[in-house]
Amino acid sequence: MNRKIKPKKIKLGIVGGGPKSWIGHVHRISSRYDDKFEIVAGVFSRNVGNSKKFGKSIGIDIDRCYSNFREMSEKEAKIESGIEVVAIMTPPSSHQIIAETFINKNIHVISDKPFAGNLKQAQKLYKTIKNNKKIKYALTHNYSSYPMVREAKRLVEKGKIGKIEYINVEYIQDWTEGKQISKRNSKKIFKWKIDKKIVGTSAVLNEIGSHAYHLAIYISGLSGKNLIADINKYSKNIDLDNNAQVLINFNNGAKGILWTCVTAKGGVYGLRIRIYGSKGSLEWVQNDPNYLKYNPGKGSVKFLERGYADANFSKKFSRIKFGHPEGYLDAFANIYKEFAEYLKTNKKKKFYFPNENEGLQTAKFIDACKKSSLKKQWVKI
Domains of the chain and CATH, by start: 10-143 (3.40.50.720), 146-317+356-380 (3.30.360.10)
Specify the pLDDT at position 6. Answer: 52
- CB proximity list for 56: less than 8 A, separation 6 or greater: 62, 65
- For residues 239-278, one letter each, b for 16 or more C-beta atoms within 10 angstroms of the residue's C-beta and e for the rest, the string is ebbbbbbbebbbeeebebebbbbbbbeeeeebbbbbbbbe
DSSP 163: S
pLDDT along the chain (381 residues), means of 10: 61 92 92 94 92 92 94 95 96 96 97 96 98 96 96 97 98 90 89 91 96 98 98 92 97 98 86 97 95 90 89 87 82 95 87 96 97 97 97
| Angle at alpha carbon of residue 270, lines to 264 and 271, rounded to 5° | 130
Residues with Cβ < 8 Å from 72, sequence gap 6 or more? 13, 15, 41, 42, 43, 66, 86
Q: How far is CA 306 from the centre of its chain?
A: 21
Residue 282: strand, helix, or coil: strand
- pTM of the predicted model, to two decimals? 0.92
Q: Which of 99, 136, 102 is nearest to 115 (CA)?
A: 99
Distance of CA 99 to the CA centre of its chain: 15
pLDDT of residue 2: 45
Is 171 buried (19+), middle (13-18) or exposed (0-12) by CB count in 10 A? buried
Q: Write down the pLDDT at residue 217.
A: 98
CA separation for the pair 43, 332 (Å, rounded): 21
